[in-house]
Amino acid sequence: MTRSDLVDLTLHIHASTDLAILASDDGVEKTATWLPKSQIEIERFGPERPGEYEAIVTMPTWLAQKGNFI
């Protein structure tokens, strides 16, 4: 996979397991999508709130499209 196949998105992370994160682009957990950690890179930033934080998430374009992020 080349860098051009990847996108960087600023997302709200609502939950996390060993295998996936629950993320949304609007901060609303009801609209969040599970993303497999095996397909993404996460760079946290800003203050962490209990159970939620913001991050720049790098993922393949196909995954961003599947999750309705782009």
Per-residue pLDDT tens digits for 2-59: 567 999 999 999 999 999 999 999 999 999 999 999 999 999 987 766 778 999 999 9
Provide the pLDDT for residue 1.
Answer: 56
Provide the pLDDT for residue 48.
Answer: 67
User: Which sign, positive or negative, has the C-alpha torsion 33, 13, 58, 10?
Assistant: positive
Cβ atoms of 22 and 13 closer than 8 Å: yes
Provide the pLDDT for residue 59.
Answer: 97
For 1, other C-beta atoms within 10 Å of its C-beta total 8
How remote is the C-alpha of 39 from its chain's centroid? 10
Cβ atoms of 46 and 53 closer than 8 Å: yes
Provide the pLDDT for residue 51.
Answer: 72
Q: Is the pTM of this model over 0.85?
A: yes
